Structure 1
Amino acid sequence: MRSAAKQLIVDPTFYPETDDMGVGELQQLMREMLRPMLARFLAERGIVAHVGSNQFIYWQQFAPTRSIAPDIYVLPGVPQSRVEKIWKLWEESVVPSFCLEIASNDFHTDYVAIPNACDEIGVSELIVYDPEPGGDDERITWQVFRRGSKRARLEQVLRTDAASVRSTQLGCWLTVVGKGDERRLRVARDAAGRDLYPTAAEVAAAARDAENAARDALRRETATRESLEVEVERLRAELAVAQGRKRKPTRR
């Protein structure tokens, strides 16, 4: 007979997969660009991780209100190919190493509740980006929270209106590009945000440009070679004529 500790626990709790809250279009466009970019960036460095977006992450069994749905999150060691409707951290034995929250009009949620929840979960690094800084609520463009050790609290280490902030967990900078409704969050390799990691569309465009350039170079090389071959044949013909004249016998 199995011990009680080894018996399966039946969990009747309903853990929602979605909620009724909408999301701003700018926030959605930022997520849609950044998530696949971060997934490629980590994969190219040989890092196994799952980069997800806006899924419920539950961290306490039997407590469906104990959840967050970060705009971007990274689960270390979890393959990107894995697909889940929700994450139950007590089943995974893993917590997000990184979370990004794009602030909305709900100041308390984005500035207080999310950092507190990430602290309780054990998130190593949280970055909060606010596209509408300023105002009476002391909103600011970037907040960075980090945990000094596994047992330490998640503490705010940076508040800034700079264009870029560094993520120690991702190994890159996050930077704002564009103006107004064209603003997007990008991965950068430098603090100035000039060395941008390319999007998939930019990679494809660069590959097409390189292919077209190689094709043009080949055409030029072929045209040059054919022109030289024509010139060589012309010179050979002239040489043959000249040699024929030299060999022609002189009449007496």
Structure 2
Amino acid sequence: MPDVGDIASRLRASGSVFAEDEAALLVAEARTPDELESMIGQRVAGLPLEVIVGWAEFCGRRIVVEPGVFVPRRRTEVVVREAVAAGRTGAVVLDLCCGTGAVGAAIHAALGGVELYASDVEPAAVRCACRNLEPLGGLVFEGDLYETLPASLRGRVDLLVVNAPYVPSDAIALMPPEAREHEPHVTLDGGADGVDIQRRVAAGAAEWLAPGGHMLIETSVAQAPLTVDAFREGGLTPEVRRADDVDGTVVIGGHAR
């Protein structure tokens, strides 16, 4: 039987904050002693735990995570909560900058019967999102924001959920190594003030939203005023929502009236 305490000590020495929990998970997921040792070595080297085991827990679901794809964060659960509160069964949902497709999958599970679409510019993310969303009936597109979405979606989207990059370019160097070294910079870099991609999303949102539809964009407390400005510039009426239990912030808004 592997010594979980010894494994935790090795992980802790490499900088792991939750060494005991991670050690227990690696032991549970490894099929052989050699595989366990390989997984420990990868974690000590800084590879994200979720990439090593191949999944992340998000809103109570296991989401497939592949190398080179942004790992779902718990703070993003605030986007799901607010989307579900604003949505309904049968809603048309578009998960933009979808990464693994975790947000769309969680909304589908909570509302049931949604018409689900997703898009990402990263080929690795699209492949991963297909694994998570196609079994749910979702359609995943590869392209820059709205560019490859079917024209039939224009004016039909009830919930436009977005986890666009919002880290200011100069702040990426301050992120934990497992993020800045193992996740594509395109999934992190939001430009000089962190809101460049959000502005582009907001500028095109009104064309895709259905009457009464909502756009929800994850942001930070510090950047929320800039995200709000992006909504207003796109003709949307914004409101900031906060979930302290997951340290998450989202701006939600619909067409200005």
**So what's the TM-score if we normalise by structure 2?**
0.31
Q: Quick one: higher RCO (CA 8 Å, sep 6+), 1 or 2?
A: 2
**So what's the TM-score if we normalise by structure 1?**
0.31
The structure whose residues are more often helix, as a share, is 2
Structure number with greater Rg is 1
